[in-house]
Amino acid sequence: MKKTVIGAVILILWASGSANSSSKWNVLLITIDTLRADRLSCYGFSSVQTANIDRLAGRGTVFSRAFAHTPTTLPSHANILLGTTPLYHGVHENSNFVVRGELWTLAEHLKREGYSTAAFVGAYPLDSRFGLDQGFDVYDDDYGSQSARGASFFVERKAEAVVAKAIAWLAEYRRSSPWFLWVHCFDPHEPYNPPPPFSETFKNKPYDGEVAYVDHALGKLLVELEARDLLSRTIVILTGDHGESLGEHGEATHAYFAYNATLWVPLIICIPGVRSNSVDQYVSHIDLFPTLCDALGIKPPAGLPGLSLLPAMKGRKLRHRPIYFESLYPYYSRGWAPIRGVILDMKKYIDSPLPELYDLVKDFGENHNLADKERLDDYRKTLEAVMRAHSTPAASASRRAPDRETIQKLRSLGYVSGLEEPKESFNREDDVKILLPYHNRSMEARDLYREGNKERAKTILKAIIQDRKDIDVAYMNLATLYKEEGKMVEAIQVLKEGLTSLPTNYPIFSTYVNFLVASGQFNEVIAAISNASFRQMEYDPEIWNFLGIARASKGETKEALAAFEKSLAIDDKFSSSYVNRGMLFLAQFLESRDPSLAARAEEDFRRTIALDPGSAAAFNGQGVVCRLNGDFDQAVSHFLRAIELKPGYGDAVYNLGMAYFDKKDYARALRAFEDYRKKFGASLSQADRRKLDELIQECRRRL
């Protein structure tokens, strides 16, 4: 009898343990890009009411002092999803690094525990090409495709679009296994353009408007979870990847400095059964991985440096430890001095040529540098010890040269990517605090120019170059302003000076070559590329396309072909090289009449149009091939399309006239030739003009 009772009790305990077993809990990770903790109403901010995030805060624990280790998107998410800092995983900024396949991610860890995994990310810095997709069954980084004109990229999508995809995944979810869902909302990242009604409500504070909008979008996800009664079975973590300076310390956005404006992030953790409260102990992103393992009752991977925050959530004190941070985008992409540091005993030490020390209890805004008043040796030693303990030789293998597409897309988000090899030693002149004001002034000058204040803009940029010879954006912006004014000689001269001062700066070099091509200086293009030895050239299809154009223009067909082929070997989706190679084949065909060359030209134009439906040159080329094949109707439609894409496209207008002439549609042919003569007659050679006039006469005669 007794035995039976005990057996029953054990059975009941086992059953109830099973029903509430933490290993069955789902995990929802929400990361909001560029989110300052002090913009959430649950952090005491009053201008924005973030009712939905507050609702989560009401269910869980609000960490009032949580820190990111890095102020840029890719490394920060790597810190969260790998549970290590860049010292270990080696990803220091957005453009020059990937998360290596051999690293073990939270998604892989949960997948091994039987979880279904899905990620919905909002912007290009988290594209699967950077390696954070490891372990996800679904990694949705579809923020749109290249636009029809091929001119601009879609590099982000709105929070509502991300959330809608996540909700659809949840709705489709019919498996018995638990799930891990990561939702990333990019909206508070610049440019700040919240949709209505937030654009109206926050007219003068668009950043706050983006925060309010994300809260609104997340509300739909929370409602969905509540409706399915999932919140009581789901661990929810909400954090920001980094903050936004909004002008503090002279930094407009993020990625340069490592002040709390960008390292302090919101952190809310909801664990079923853990009472809601708030924690003011110092915690960081690498603590999230071990916290989840602890809460789920699963073994964490060996060697994770973070701490489980579960004890803190239950009111206990966490072990004393330094929190490492760094800001190395300026170092890797601009060649400026590195910023690294530690937060220790409520003090923050920032190691740079001009070191800083702040008392975070009295001065969380970091306005009173104590570096001159206190001994820094102990902090330096702590930083060195942390770096020694957590660095791995393998970390350097995360470095990759970015390709053209990456550079272009990241540039559209405001990241300048350059520099071959960072310097080894630095002095105060290399300190980010000294250099950033020059960068800011260069960007202000560009804005002044766009507002029509051209002379003032040029004066500022010239003064910067006079003062410091190493501000790359000053040269680039001044050259671009000259180019927009049609002053190519001055533009090229500025870039030449820039290259003299900064001979390893690839963005200046490639812009210089671009401008030489645009002004028809083909000998100089060939000389510049032949004498250059940038490592980036091996990853840049555009530079070889420029060389091909220069060689082709000089009649060096074989060399031109080799250059286009090199460009396409680097990037087989680089449409400009297809269209230029097609033109080259076409020219060769007209000389040799070898039909295989016409076929190859046709193939190149077809590929170009498939990659870039807005390429007028490719439609013009297609039209020429059709005309040569006697398919005049098709030729006409290609030329019309080319002109539609590029109004005033002389070659296509002339070719259209010829195709109508072939079709014996002399009225339309006449109209095209007359149009062509009106627009381009003055620039034609005497012989060409005579030929055109004869065609016009012939049309009139036959009408």
Smallest distance from the beta carbon of 507 to Zn ion, in angstroms? 22
- Which stretches does DSSP call E strand in 113-232? 116-120, 138-140, 179-185
Indicate the residue among 410 and 481 with the shorter CB distance to Zn ion. Answer: 410
Q: Minimum distance from CB of 134 to Zn ion (Å)?
A: 19
Q: How far is CA 417 from CA 331, 439, 468, 537, 572, in A?
A: 11, 14, 20, 14, 22
Sign of the dihedral defined by the CA atoms of residues 62, 67, 69, 70, in that order: positive
Of 659, 676, 669, 672, the C-alpha closest to 698 is: 669
The DSSP code sequence of 432-483 is HHHHHHHHHHHHHHHHHHHTT-HHHHHHHHHHHHHH-TT-HHHHHHHHHHHH
For residue 412 the two structure tokens come to 């559209």
Give the span between the Cα atoms of 297 and 287, in whole angstroms.
15
Q: Which is nearer to Zn ion, 322 or 414 (CB)?
A: 414
We find the least distance from the C-beta atom of residue 33 to Zn ion, in angstroms, to be 4
Instruction: Report the residue number, 213 or 544, with the smaller CB distance to Zn ion.
Output: 213
How would you classify residue 536: left for phi > 0, otherwise alpha for psi between -120 and 50, otherwise beta?
alpha
The CB-of-335 to Zn ion minimum distance in angstroms stands at: 22
Which one, 125 or 341, has the nearer CB to Zn ion? Answer: 125
- Which lies closer to Zn ion via its Cβ, residue 41 or residue 79? 79
Whose Cβ is closer to Zn ion: residue 75's or residue 623's?
75
Rg (the chain; Cα; Å): 30
**Least spacing, CB of residue 184 vs Zn ion, in Å:** 9
**Least separation in angstroms between CB 72 and Zn ion:** 6
Task: State the nearest-atom distance from the C-beta of 242 to Zn ion, in Å.
Answer: 5
| The pair of three-digit structure tokens given for residue 597, joined into one six-digit string | 């060359």
**CA 386 – CA 85 distance, rounded (Å):** 11
Nearer to Zn ion, 73 or 308 (CB): 73
Cβ at position 133, least distance to Zn ion in Å: 17
Q: Which is nearer to Zn ion, 73 or 480 (CB)?
A: 73
- Closest residue to Zn ion, Cβ-based? 73
* 668: amino acid identity, one letter: R
Beta strand pairing call for 264-270 and 234-240: antiparallel
Least distance in angstroms from the C-beta of 401 to Zn ion: 22
Cross-strand bridge partners of residue 120: 140, 183
The string of DSSP codes covering 331-371 is IIII-PPPEEEEEETTEEEEESSS-EEEETTT-TT--S--T
Tokens of residue 584, six digits: 């080259």
Question: Cα dist. 29→82, 285, 582 in Å?
Answer: 13, 12, 49
Least distance to Zn ion from the beta carbon of 89, Å? 16
CB of 73 to Zn ion, least distance (A): 3
CB 626 within 8 A of CB 638: yes
72 or 615, CB closer to Zn ion?
72
Which residue type does 195 have?
P
The Cα 162–Cα 23 span in angstroms is 27
**Least separation, in Å, of the C-beta of 447 and Zn ion?**
23
Minimum distance, C-beta of residue 325 to Zn ion, in the bound complex (Å):
15
- DSSP string of 217-269, one letter each residue: HHHHHHHHHHHTT-GGGEEEEEEES----TTGGG-SSSSS--SHHHHEEEEEE
Residue 50 vs 73, nearer CB to Zn ion: 73
Report in angstroms how near the CB of residue 241 gets to Zn ion at its nearest: 4
Which CB sits closer to Zn ion, 33 or 294?
33
Q: Name residue, tokens 């489980």.
A: 308
CA distance 189 to 171: 29
Alpha carbon of residue 213 to chain centroid? 21
Least Cβ distance, residue 595 to Zn ion (angstroms): 54
Q: Which of 211, 517 has the CB closer to Zn ion?
A: 211
Number of Cβ within a 10 Å radius of residue 531: 7
- Summarize as ranges the residues that interact with Zn ion (CB under 5 A): 33, 73, 241
Residue among 40 and 547 whose Cβ is closer to Zn ion: 40
Long-range contacts of 317-321 (CB under 8 A, 24+ apart): 317/281, 318/281, 318/283, 320/345
**Which of residues 33 and 612 has its CB atom nearest to Zn ion in the complex?**
33
Quick one: tokens of 624?
């020429």
CB 308 within 8 A of CB 290: yes
For 275, phi then psi, to 5°, come to: -60, 145
CB of 92 to Zn ion, least distance (A): 14
Residue pair 77/126 in contact by the 8 Å Cβ criterion: yes
Place of tokens 């300052």: 36
- Here the tokens at position 404 are 């053209």
Measured from the CB atom, is 241 or 571 closer to Zn ion?
A: 241
Roughly what angle, to the nearest 10 degrees, separates helices 650-662 and 616-628? Answer: 30
For residue 32, the minimal CB distance to Zn ion (Å) is 9
- Based on CB atoms, which residue is closest to Zn ion, 241 or 356? 241
How far is 353 from 432, CA to CA, in rounded Å?
9
Closest to Zn ion by CB, 210 vs 241, is 241
